[in-house]
Amino acid sequence: MANWQLPRHPAAPNLKGPVVICVMDGVGVGVEDESNAVWLARKPNLDWLAANAPTTQLAAHGVAVGMPSDADMGNSEVGHNALGAGRVFDQGAKLVQNAVDTGALFESVAWQTSAHQVRQSGQPLHFIGLLSDGNVHSNIGHLEAMIARADVDGVQSVRLHVLMDGRDVHETSGLNYIDRIETLLTRMRDKGRDYCIASGGGRMKVTMDRYEAEWSMVELGWKTHVLGEGRGFSSAREAIQAFRDEQPGIGDQNLPAFVVTGSDGKPVGPIRDGAAVILFNFRGDRAIELTQAFEQETFTKFDRGARPDVVFSGMMQYDGDLQLPSRFLVPPPAIDFTLGEYLAKNGVTQLAISETQKFGHVTYFWNGNRSGKFDDKSETYVEVPSDTLPFEERPWMKAVEITDRTLAELATGKYAHARLNYANGDMVGHTGHRDAAVLAVEAVDLQIGRLMRFIDKAGGALIVTADHGNADEMYEHAKKGNALVRDAAGKLKVKTSHTLNPVPLHIYAPSLPQLRLDPAVSSPGLSNIAATTLQLLGFDAPDGFRPSLVGS
């Protein structure tokens, strides 16, 4: 039986107020140039913290958060996993790549069942997912490996339903991935296979909603991928080029839905009874809703029509508590003994709050990919509904409302610990609008000032950090050196993806003027925050947690 008892820290501080973690989503530490919306922003509170509070930088990408290599960007999922777990676990991209390399993926019951189903029925094996090598939600290399194995396993027909990225990769790089996958599909057709792209659309318009913010996106995806309804084109390349011609400047993430049709004008890949469907995204937040649509008997979010009788599998199980999906190719990381569970087991009252876009990050991901609370009595989760309008038009998002509710809850004196996420730097950063991202950072800074004033009066501590970078690099830099990249017309190339930059850490505890960071902690990362939080709460961290950043 696990020992959940947390011992008192030998040098426990005597804080009267709560320990609050503020995650500035997508606010990293980048090159100080015109690409850096964080540097350009007027942010007196963050500047004051950097100059006066214990401050350092944390690794938030690559192996520090469980990704395969330091060439891999961090993301909100792995960042919040690391923040809440206090340790580093191999994450989706690495787990799937290992399963592909060892062949374990193809030995899974889900793969074997899918291949058997379509060999018997004669229906296609359908793949749905994000087509890029961003390695945040998916990787085109995994798809290529599955297509090649489908051929080896005697699968005659394959259909791809491709969601275009432009968010974790360059905003208009989609045709590169289309051409790459079409090369493989052509090779398969030359061997006599019936393999082709059937439908697609931009990830922020079709299918990949999260946290039930816009079920209409999933409904559109269902009509496009499953029913084969929508504007038809002879190929995915033709569709994307047409959309770009009609809407100059459109990024891949915002492309409309499209359906590929054959010479008879009919869609080439509606999903019918007897088929098998694999959702090849490994990250769960934008995969759960489509999974629900395929798997749940009782479903009321939209009219599915006659749900096809298929074998459905996910790349991973996206929600272990809800058992979604029931079939999956690669087991997810087993993240246990999280900060939130330790606090719940020790009766420490907790508040978790964010707007819809990041609510699951301070709950589900923070708790090790676990839905629900550990203890209803000691935990309060608050979701502030997000706007559905473009984020660049409202870069302040719900930062004020989050702060209002946080301060109201903390004023009750009920909570010893709180965690909140301001989504602005990430969600506005992904739009590619630098000036809007500057305003987003400024909006967050204003709210941090409000939190600081409360902490000062309450005698608590405020940990300010981020889960990864984004707004800190709104234009592309050259791979060597820091020169900004320009296109043939001399225009700066917009960057909409996360960055490889570290993130800031500030600890504001005015009632502890002696507080210092521990210089003995080398290469600090996001996973050090859990032990740091426990020490400020007066507890020694459990065995296995990465050390606290606060000196004893």
Q: What share of the chain is helix, strand, coil (3-state, %, to 5)?
A: 35, 20, 45
How far apart CA 545 and CA 7 sit, in angstroms, is 14
**Residue type for position 173:** S
State the catalytic residues. Answer: 76
**E strand or H helix at 44:** helix 44-52
Query: In Å, how far are 271, 272, 307 from 227, measured between CA atoms?
Result: 7, 8, 10
How far apart CA 258 and CA 239 sit, in angstroms, is 7
Q: What is the DSSP string of 215-243?
A: HHHHHHHIIIIIS--S-EESSHHHHHHHH
* Burial grade of 122 (CB within 10 A; 0-12, 13-18, 19 or more): exposed
Contact 268, 261 (CB under 8 A): yes
Contact 167, 253 (CB under 8 A): yes
- Length, in residues, of the chain: 552
Query: In Å, how far are 339, 360, 378, 524 from 529, measured between CA atoms?
Result: 10, 19, 21, 9
Ranges of beta strands (E only) in 74-153 are 125-131
**E strand or H helix at 46:** helix 44-52
Strand order in the sheet with 379-384: 55-58, 503-508, 461-465, 19-24, 417-422, 350-355, 379-384
Q: Which residue has 């938030």 as its token pair?
A: 60
**Residue type for position 97:** Q
